[in-house]
Amino acid sequence: LKHTTRTVKATVEEITSRLALDDLTHHADPGQLVANDIGRVRVRTAEPVALDAYADSRHTGSFLLIDPADGTTLAAGIVTD
């Protein structure tokens, strides 16, 4: 997980919902997200990360999930809770 200038190990623990943009269908408990889906997930970090709600701060309320092998961006996220 890359947040501002810091990168920490993280795991997606749960995907709670998915909106498929190709047909705008909503799926509860989808199991996975694919390219261009919008989803709600729970992420666990290996170290504490100081986050704010996106509504309060766009800069500290957003993050990237990156591939640890090559740094490729896998997903972008915002903090809602």
| Model pLDDT, residue 28 | 82
Strand partners, 69: none
Q: How far apart are CA 68 and CA 55, in angstroms?
A: 28
**pLDDT band, very low/low/confident/very high, at 81 (cuts 50, 70, 90):** confident
> Where do the domains of the chain lie?
2-78
Give the per-residue SS3 of the chain: CEECCEECCEEEEEEEEEEECCCCEEEECCCCCCCCCEEEEEEEECCCCCCCCCCCCCCCCEEEEECCCCCCEEEEEECCC
Q: Which CATH architecture has domain 2-78?
A: Beta Barrel (2.40)
Per-residue pLDDT tens over the stretch 13-56: 999 999 888 888 888 878 888 888 899 999 999 999 999 999 99
